[in-house]
Amino acid sequence: MSVHKENKAVTLDVDSALVSTVEDIADAMNTTLASYGYPMRSLREYRQWVGLGTRNVVAKAVPKGPQYNDLHSDFMAVYLRKLNRYAHV
């Protein structure tokens, strides 16, 4: 007799600690920045910023202001849509 347990959680590595996702993060953040009229940032900058969470990446990429929370939410939506375009272990 086999017992199947349903998965109830998904883990996302959005700070590149487990999987190298910096290219995916940069792509999603630059897409989001462009949609708000901000200039894109370099992959080199993102490499310095990953590891401390997505809010850190957003805070480094743009000044905190009234759009900060919306920008972070939009970034996460874009990131999840584009997930694994570049990621590798």
Q: What is the CATH number of the domain that holds 32?
A: 1.10.150
Reported as a single tens digit per residue, the pLDDT across 34-56 is 999 999 999 999 999 988 888 88
Q: Going by C-beta distance under 8 Å and a sequence separation of 6 or more, which residues neighbour residue 84? A: 24
Domains of the chain: total? 1
Which residues, 6 or more positions from 56, have their beta carbon under 8 angstroms from its beta carbon?
49
CA separation for the pair 11, 38 (Å, rounded): 30
pLDDT at 8: 66
Distance CA 33, CA 37 (A): 6
Is 3 among the domain residues? no
Range of the domain at 60: 22-82
Q: How much is the pLDDT for 77?
A: 94
- Distance of alpha carbon 46 from alpha carbon 25, whole angstroms: 8
Q: How far apart are CA 69 and CA 56, in angstroms?
A: 12
Residue 51, domain member (yes or no): yes
